[in-house]
Structure 1
Amino acid sequence: MAKNLPIVPTAKPGSMAETPAGSTWREKRPVLMNCTCLEVTLYCPDGALSIVEGKVSLDLNLCKGCGICANECKDGGIQMVPEYTGAQGVFPVKGEE
């Protein structure tokens, strides 16, 4: 007897590489500040961190802003900063109209 299951949305393989994760919903992004712990690349769930010429490199097109890298970096060389620092909201602020 077959069981009827609801249809749920799923991501197709490779979709993270096709659509920049941070382009619409990332609130914070990592900034590399002399990160010397190369093993931090093993913790990134999206593969946004890699080692290029012996240094940690970041691909913001793959980063979703989870902050795991900043948490696992032993030397404090990765800091999370707000993705957007401009005026927020849809309506103009009084005096800036």
Structure 2
Amino acid sequence: MKTMTTDELINLLDANEDLNVIDVREDFEVEHGMIPGAVHIPLGSIPERTNELDNSKSYIVVCKGGVRSANACEYLAEQGFDVTNLDGGMMAYDGELEFK
């Protein structure tokens, strides 16, 4: 499984790269802020919402600590998606937050 550090992600965000971030945390968790531009798809909803994803794009998957996002990455990779897990998740992320 491909992984990325939060520093690598912050550098890409600072460079205004066109990123596709999926946040698989629960509703109550995302209330505390999300990575700017991230799409919220709770882990339990991934199987029924894969139709919302484009398999020609790459995705960075994030959760609180990196375990749920690793599970999501494993599932999505099996479905043919190009996914990268964010090491340490939101607990390691100290960049800008967006509130929805």
TM-score normalised over the length of structure 2: 0.27
Q: Which has the larger radius of gyration?
A: 1
Q: Which has the bigger relative contact order, CA under 8 A and spacing at least 6? A: 2
**Greater fraction of residues in helix:** 2
